[in-house]
Amino acid sequence: MIALLEGIVEEVSLEGPPFAVVLLCNSVGYRLLCSRRSSSRLKIDERLRLFVSSQTRDGELFLYGFFERVERNCFELLVGVQGVGGKLALTILSHFDSASLARAILSSDKESLQEVSGLGGRTAQRLIVELEGKMNTPLIIASMGGVTSQTEDADGVLPHGDPLWNDLTDALEQLSFERAEISRVLSNLRRAERPDSLDSALRQALKILRPPIT
């Protein structure tokens, strides 16, 4: 499945949600549905990359584009909840940014969730029940400026808004490392000299997680 596209913005539709963008990548135009928040940051003829979620419904492939990785992650959590399709998920993300959505869910703020057009009380409650434990990922917590639920690591080693630590966390999650392992590595790296790139940080992290056999 497509996870990332880089190209030139050819068209932007501001009628939605869902809003839409046509991204020209190597002579192929991809139409991606997106939230108001992402679409408002797009400019015609601008070259950029969008994080992509590929979803199939009734045998048809839909592509959803996001300016930020954390918004894509929230979208994929939302569409995993029964009764929440792509259009409603984008409507939610047009109303909430990732941090405020996480706060609403972690604080069981059903009333705020119901302010979203098309989101009823039953679905709002289902979001709270099903996503409360899943909104506690390091990347989403970082978008909240370090505000966490009670399951935050006691030593506070989760990333706090630094893009390098956010990207490293996401990369390690994609490699299937557990949260406890990622927190341990972040703690070690943040006590040393800051790596100058994600590639360098990832190499250092893997040395800690997978030390060479001697």
Query: Any idea what the CATH number is for the domain that residue 36 is in?
Result: 2.40.50.140
Domain containing residue 84: CATH number: 1.10.150.20
pLDDT band at 91 (very low <50, low <70, confident <90, very high): very high
Whole-number Å distance between alpha carbons of 27 and 10: 11
Question: Mean of the pLDDT values across residues 141-165?
Answer: 49
3-state DSSP assignment of residue 176: coil
Contact 99, 37 (CB under 8 A): no
Average pLDDT, the chain: 83
pTM (predicted TM-score): 0.66
CA 180: distance to chain centroid? 20
Residue 191 lies in a domain: yes
- Which residue range(s) make up the domain with 156? 138-208
Segment 47-69, tens digit of pLDDT: 999 999 998 888 889 999 998 88
153 plus 203 within the same structural domain = yes
Distances (CA, A) of 115 to 33, 92, 110, 122, 210: 22, 9, 9, 13, 47
Residue 198 lies in a domain: yes
Question: Mean of the pLDDT values across residues 128-157?
Answer: 60
Whole-number Å distance between alpha carbons of 29 and 122: 38
What pLDDT score does 156 carry?
Answer: 39
Residue 162 has pLDDT above 70, yes or no: no
Contact 19, 1 (CB under 8 A): no
76 plus 90 within the same structural domain = yes
